[in-house]
Amino acid sequence: GQQLNQSPQSMFIQEGEDVSMNCTSSSIFNTWLWYKQEPGEGPVLLIALYKAGELTSNGRLTAQFGITRKDSFLNISASIPSDVGIYFCAGDSSNTGKLIFGQGTTLQVKP
Amino acid sequence: DAMVIQNPRYQVTQFGKPVTLSCSQTLNHNVMYWYQQKSSQAPKLLFHYYDKDFNNEADTPDNFQSRRPNTSFCFLDIRSPGLGDAAMYLCATREKQRKTQYFGPGTRLLVL
């Protein structure tokens, strides 16, 4: 089946550092979504991308829909302790409304 | 605020004892999803409703059932929970014309 490869699997960074994570696929996706999940909570939508090449920001977060439609990245600038959590990318390739999820990137921020 | 609500947030049940988890939404979205999420893994889709049409994933065990009595509510019934069914259960909704899914806070199920 279709898969999204998300990397890195985990990151341990110092407060104030910038963070970058990405998802790639062998298939074309029509939509890319980035979620953050904190322990014991559901995923919260951070950014939604609908067009190839689209670059969207949400505060310190920036995400891009790759030109090839097979990848997306999420950047977090000037990280703070509350950025801690698991970040998931998710994509919809078949217009079925079903999302394919990446494996998640666990982010830890040292104050 | 429009939102997806899940109750209870924590549920403890006994091995083999039926349990029902509930989800409600004030977003008036047509599509509702149930996911199972185990520790350190991505959510796994169990089934979804497109309006009243039920769509089961091929690998969802028969032990899991769902009901959607109206647009706002959706229930997940686990007929005979096993130890392996202990997980976080997530409800999500989507507006028919859009691709974005919005998740509830989840219900963590513990099976003793």
pLDDT of A96 higher than 80: no
Please, which residues 49-78 of chain B have a Cβ atom closer than 8 Å to chain A?
A: 50
Q: What's the pLDDT band for B1 if we cut at 50, 70, 90?
A: low
Q: How far apart are the CA of A18 and the nearest CA of chain B, in angstroms?
A: 24
Chain A residues with CB under 8 Å of B106 CB are 40-42
**A41: closest CA of chain B, how far (Å):** 5
Report the pLDDT averaged over residues B14-39.
Answer: 96
pLDDT at A12 over 70: yes
A40: pLDDT strictly greater than 80:
yes
The C-alpha angle with vertex B1 and arms to A88 and A81, in degrees rounded to 5, equals: 40
Amino acid code (one letter) for A20? S
Model confidence over B79-105: pLDDT tens digits? Answer: 999 999 999 999 999 998 888 999 999
The fraction of chain B above a pLDDT of 90, given in percent, is: 91
Q: Which residues contact B34 (CB under 8 A, 6 or more apart)?
A: B23, B45, B46, B47, B48, B64, B66, B74, B76, B89, B90, B91
Mutate to test the interface with A, among B4, B31, B97, B101 (most CBs of A within 10 A): B101
Query: Considering chain B, what percentage of its residues have pLDDT values greater than 70?
Result: 98
What integer pLDDT is reported at residue B40 of this predicted model?
Answer: 84
Q: What is the pLDDT confidence band of residue A3, given thresholds at 50, 70 and 90?
A: confident
Whole-angstrom distance, CA of residue A65 vs CA of residue B102: 20
- Note the pLDDT of residue A1: 59
Checking if the pLDDT of B53 tops 90, the result is: yes
Q: How many CB pairs under 8 A join A and B?
A: 53
Mean pLDDT of chain B: 95
Q: Work out the average pLDDT over A5-32.
A: 95
Q: Which of A82-86, A90-94, B9-13 has the lowest mean pLDDT?
A: A90-94
Contact B90 A42 (CB under 8 A): yes
pLDDT value, residue B102: 96
Shortest alpha-carbon distance between residue B104 and chain A (Å) = 6
Cα A86 from Cα A106, distance rounded (Å): 4
Amino acid at B38: K
Is A52 exposed, middle or buried (CB count within 10 Å of its CB: 0-12, 13-18, 19+)?
A: middle
